[in-house]
């Protein structure tokens, strides 16, 4: 089948490359000429394991192409996916749908045969209805359907999530649209992947509900970690003890500095605003949003306490800046609260991250010193703080790290080490909830 993918960012590029790998012919469209030119040269604008091989392999096979010209991309297509950004709107917390609606207007002017327009972007309930209304207004005679097909891609594991998903959710109100989506996802039949068909509004809400629930699990175990620190309990054992209950499950029960990334912060906030709009307040999600924001800021207090009550005049080595490992994504990362907070309190910050330094330089204070490896980062520092659990930080030579530090102080905000491993080497060791 032939597909146009509007938006060549994280969702659009991964989805387009995976659909091409399924055997479909995909054209990814973006208004950013530099991004398209880079992709045409084989350069991938984001870090996602395996994406470079997948994109360039399908590009050379002729199944995946890139352009800034939507009209050429839409020629004879069966489906057009809208995969543009829906960031938090400044001032009110709602999702900014201006890019989605602009794409709908452009699509409407180019429809020439029956086409399914699919919202892949994360959008509030009712967005597909508005997309349909826009297209009907611009092209009242057009033959089309609108469907919702939310993505459930984890950064760092997106290709596997697309090709071997837990489920595919399709919101469509007519059988022609459902049949097109069945054909697009037919390769997943080999894996017996459940394809769940709902109405459009249900599909839109499923995405928000899923992210809000996962964010709630993270926030819950973080609050349990605070209780553990006060009472002498161990949050990792608490998490295991409740996670073995199949009704609860073990996923997303890892205490840390709070959630970040491109999805959870904006999607929980958008769900809160949607609930307010429909006068169905979500008190639990509201509390999650507030608790997570406060937690990231409290991590500065935790670091300062571990450093003897003050970081003024001290050098702090930060390991990990991205919101999670295996990505260069800095959006709403805990480091964006922690690093400026330390600097505001008089610390000098030296930082390392395997992938996100280029992005971090645009977001963190200019005074941050960036280093090429963890041991250079720790050189002459008064403490080392692990913020992101990259694999290379899990296998550090602790003795070498200790020799580089001025003082052997480690604040492990991801609990990747154990005190019995670190303390015998002369470290003051602080973790989360233990």
Q: Which residues are catalytic?
A: 263
Rounded (10°) angle between helices 10-21 and 51-60: 50
| Cβ neighbours of 84 (radius 10 Å) | 25
- The annotation status of 68 as a binding-site residue, yes or no, is no
- The annotation status of 163 as a binding-site residue, yes or no, is no
- The annotation status of 256 as a binding-site residue, yes or no, is yes
Name the DSSP letter for residue 74: T
What does the angle CA 86 – CA 74 – CA 170 come to, to the nearest 5 degrees? 50
Q: What is the largest CA-CA distance in the chain?
A: 76
- The annotation status of 266 as a binding-site residue, yes or no, is yes
Q: Distance between CA atoms of 103 and 427, rounded to whole angstroms?
A: 55
**Cβ contact 3:23 at 8 Å:** no
- The annotation status of 252 as a binding-site residue, yes or no, is yes
Number of helices (H) and strands (E), helices first, in the chain? 18, 14
**Cβ contact 332:358 at 8 Å:** no
Query: Shortest CA distance to 227 belongs to which of 15, 367, 434?
Result: 434
- The annotation status of 86 as a binding-site residue, yes or no, is yes
- The annotation status of 207 as a binding-site residue, yes or no, is yes
Query: Shortest CA distance to 103 belongs to which of 81, 75, 133, 136?
Result: 81
Q: Distance between CA atoms of 170 and 150, rounded to whole angstroms?
A: 8
- The annotation status of 254 as a binding-site residue, yes or no, is yes
- The annotation status of 122 as a binding-site residue, yes or no, is yes
The two three-digit tokens of residue 387, written as one number: 């913020």
- The annotation status of 253 as a binding-site residue, yes or no, is yes
Query: Shortest CA distance to 121 belongs to which of 214, 32, 208?
Result: 208
Query: Shortest CA distance to 101 belongs to which of 134, 70, 142?
Result: 134
| Cβ neighbours of 71 (radius 10 Å) | 11
The two three-digit tokens of residue 184, written as one number: 């697009």
- The annotation status of 154 as a binding-site residue, yes or no, is yes
- The annotation status of 213 as a binding-site residue, yes or no, is no
- The annotation status of 35 as a binding-site residue, yes or no, is yes
- Residue whose tokens read 């030579």: 397
3-state secondary structure string across 127-149: HHHHHHHHHHHHCCCCCEEEEEC
The two three-digit tokens of residue 149, written as one number: 């097909």
Which residues are annotated binding-site positions for substrate?
152-155, 207, 252-256, 260, 324
Provide the annotated binding site: 30, 35, 86, 122, 152-155, 207, 252-256, 260, 266, 324, 331
Binding-site entries for NAD(+): 30, 35, 86, 122, 155, 266, 331
């Amino acid at each position: 089948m032939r597909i146009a993918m509007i938006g060549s960012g994280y969702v659009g590029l991964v989805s387009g490359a995976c659909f091409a790998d399924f055997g479909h012919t995909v054209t990814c469209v973006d208004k950013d000429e530099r991004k398209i030119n880079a992709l045409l040269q084989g350069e991938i604008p984001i870090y996602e394991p395996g994406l470079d091989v997948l994109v360039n392999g399908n590009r050379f096979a002729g199944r995946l192409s890139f352009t800034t010209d939507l009209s050429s991309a839409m020629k004879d297509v069966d489906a057009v996916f809208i995969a543009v950004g829906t960031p938090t709107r400044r001032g009110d917390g709602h999702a900014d749908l201006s890019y989605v609606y602009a794409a709908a207007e452009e699509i409407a002017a180019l429809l020439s045969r029956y086409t399914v327009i699919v919202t892949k972007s994360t959008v509030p309930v009712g967005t597909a209805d508005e997309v349909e209304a826009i297209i009907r207004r611009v092209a009242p005679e057009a033959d089309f359907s609108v469907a919702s097909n939310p993505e459930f891609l984890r950064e760092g594991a997106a290709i596997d999530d697309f090709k071997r998903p837990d489920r595919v959710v399709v919101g469509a109100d007519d059988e022609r649209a459902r049949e097109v989506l069945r054909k697009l996802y037919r390769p997943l039949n080999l894996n017996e992947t459940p394809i769940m068909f709902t109405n459009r509004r249900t599909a839109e809400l499923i995405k928000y509900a899923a992210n809000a629930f996962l964010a709630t699990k993270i926030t819950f175990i973080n609050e349990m970690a605070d209780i553990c620190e006060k009472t002498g309990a161990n949050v990792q054992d608490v998490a295991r003890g409740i996670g073995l209950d199949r009704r609860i499950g073990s996923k997303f029960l890892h205490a840390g500095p709070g959630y970040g990334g491109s999805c959870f912060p904006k999607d929980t906030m958008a769900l809160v605003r949607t609930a307010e709009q429909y006068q169905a307040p979500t008190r639990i999600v509201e509390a999650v949003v507030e608790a997570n924001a406060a937690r990231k800021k409290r991590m500065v207090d935790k670091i300062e306490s571990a450093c003897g009550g003050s970081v003024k005049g001290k050098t702090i080595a930060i390991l990990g800046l991205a919101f999670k490992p295996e990505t260069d994504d800095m959006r709403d990362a805990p480091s964006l609260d922690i690093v400026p907070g330390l600097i505001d309190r008089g610390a000098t910050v030296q930082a390392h991250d395997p992938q996100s330094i280029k992005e971090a330089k645009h977001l963190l204070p200019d005074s941050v010193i960036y280093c090429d490896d963890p041991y250079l980062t720790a050189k002459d520092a008064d403490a080392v703080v692990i913020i992101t659990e990259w694999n290379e930080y899990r296998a550090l030579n602790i003795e070498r790290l200790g020799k580089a530090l001025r003082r052997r102080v480690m604040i492990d905000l991801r609990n990747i080490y154990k005190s019995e491993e670190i303390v015998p080497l002369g470290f003051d060791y602080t973790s989360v909830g233990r």
